[in-house]
Amino acid sequence: MSEEILVVPLLQPAEGTPPVIDTESKFRDALSQLAQGHGPFAVDAERASGFRYSARAYLIQIKRNNGGLHLIDPIPFGPGHNLFAELNALLNTDEVILHASTQDLPCLRELGINPIHLFDTELAGRIAGLPRVGLGPLLETLMGVSLAKEHSAADWSARPLPQEWLTYAALDVELLVELRDKMFELLDKSNKLSWALEEFASILKAPPAPPRVDPWRRTSGMHKIKRRDQLAIIKELWIARDRVASEQDIAPGKLLNDGAIVELAIAASVTKKEFEKALRPLGLRARWLENLPLWLSSITAAVALPEDQWPAMRTNADTLPPIKLWRDKFPEKYAPLSHARAAIELIAQENEIPVENLITPEHVRRVCWKPPTGATETLSIPAVEQALTELGARQWQINLVGPALASALLEREPLPVPEVAVAEVTETTPEEG
């Protein structure tokens, strides 16, 4: 019987919850204290996802050994403030520790904070092969303390911020330095430290994601849409909603959620009565009616469009066919893919790392869909490795996966047994810290 680990709740920072920094004098005092500290900086940010249109930071938490714990309200200062430039210069003197860094880096960079040395405890946990990599589970597993997470989905744009929220935010960085040290040791002992460091460097070097083409096509529930005229309604409603949401800095789903947009497109309602009838099964919300004239006019405009102005059902975007179609419609592509996925799953198991962190599944699909010249006739490991490099794979990933993928490209028949289930994702969604 395994020994049960005693987990102690972490209720308060060791030195108490500090007051919010919302003036230049307080900010300068914090910079002075942080400069007197030593070692890496534990950093976190709170946003108002689900409440606001923007992804800006509404609170920045920073802790450093002998440098104190600080809670900075960025709103009174704004992006590009000289004090954020000073903070950035200070942070760049050592390592910045973030949990699920890809979530927080965009809002930090908006303020002018651009780390040049990163340690991501969430990603470190994934590479280490830990089963649960949220901040809370990692602290429980490695340090024997638990965090309350009841405020993780709070509206951090609220002012003033309640004291219990501030305590919650402070605790997110209270033990982050110590957790980083535990993760570093774990990765080093498993010979995975170089992998993690390569991943961290890649995150910092990654360019901003390009604007999405036709973002309205990502409306949830699009599988229900079978006609182009319905697409026209979705497009008009989505654009109208996005404009109002941006102007008012409100999460779009609060104005009119995706399910409502799809139902309205199907019903093609053009009167208030028809509008309410279409949305009744979803639980019609009063908030949705606040902009009723705009929704109705958008629907009317879409319905009035001539057919040649209706959106196409499919675009010419650089996307691959759904995997479910490969076996029957593209068997010559499916056969190597089935072997590649099975081989990569085995490599992932041997190295105790999630498949999606071992190699981005989209990269594997693209190489199988369009193999390097000659790679389907002879074993061409260098060509496959070059293809993976061009797709953005890291060297440690290429070293592990390249030979197996090159071998899979020579296969002409799919695996005769049900293949190992591999998540159909191109990007993982980190657990909230």
pLDDT tens digit at each of 433 positions of the chain: 445 668 899 999 999 999 999 999 999 999 999 999 999 999 999 999 999 999 999 999 999 999 999 999 999 999 999 999 999 999 999 999 999 999 999 999 999 999 999 999 999 999 999 999 999 999 999 999 998 777 778 999 999 999 999 999 999 999 999 999 999 999 999 999 999 999 999 999 998 888 888 999 999 999 999 999 999 999 999 999 999 999 999 999 999 999 999 999 999 878 899 999 999 888 888 999 999 999 999 999 999 999 999 999 887 666 888 898 999 999 999 999 999 999 999 999 999 999 999 999 999 999 999 999 999 999 999 999 999 999 999 999 999 999 999 999 999 999 975 544 444 444 444 444 3
pLDDT at position 385, please? 97
Q: Is the peptide bond before 160 cis (omega within 30 degrees of 0)?
A: yes
Query: In CATH, which superfamily holds the domain spanning 8-205?
Result: Ribonuclease H-like superfamily/Ribonuclease H (3.30.420.10)
334 contacts 327 by C-beta, under 8 angstroms: yes
Q: Which helix (H) or strand (E) holds 263?
A: helix 258-267
Q: If DSSP codes are grouped into helix, strand and coil, which group holds residue 315?
A: coil
pLDDT at position 425, please? 42
Query: How far is it, in rounded angstroms, from Cα 151 to Cα 228?
Result: 42
Quickly list DSSP for 117-181.
SEEEHHHHHHHHT-S--SHHHHHHHHHSEE---TTTTS-TT-SSPPHHHHHHHHHHHHTHHHHHH
CB atoms within 10 A of CB 302: 25
Query: In CATH, which superfamily holds the domain spanning 323-408?
Result: HRDC domain (1.10.150.80)
Query: How far is it, in rounded angstroms, from Cα 233 to Cα 265?
Result: 5
The distance from CA 290 to its chain's CA centroid, rounded to whole angstroms, is 31
Q: Is there a shared CATH topology between the 215-309 domain and the 323-408 domain?
A: yes
Q: What is the CATH number of domain 215-309?
A: 1.10.150.80
Domain ranges of the chain: 8-205, 215-309, 323-408
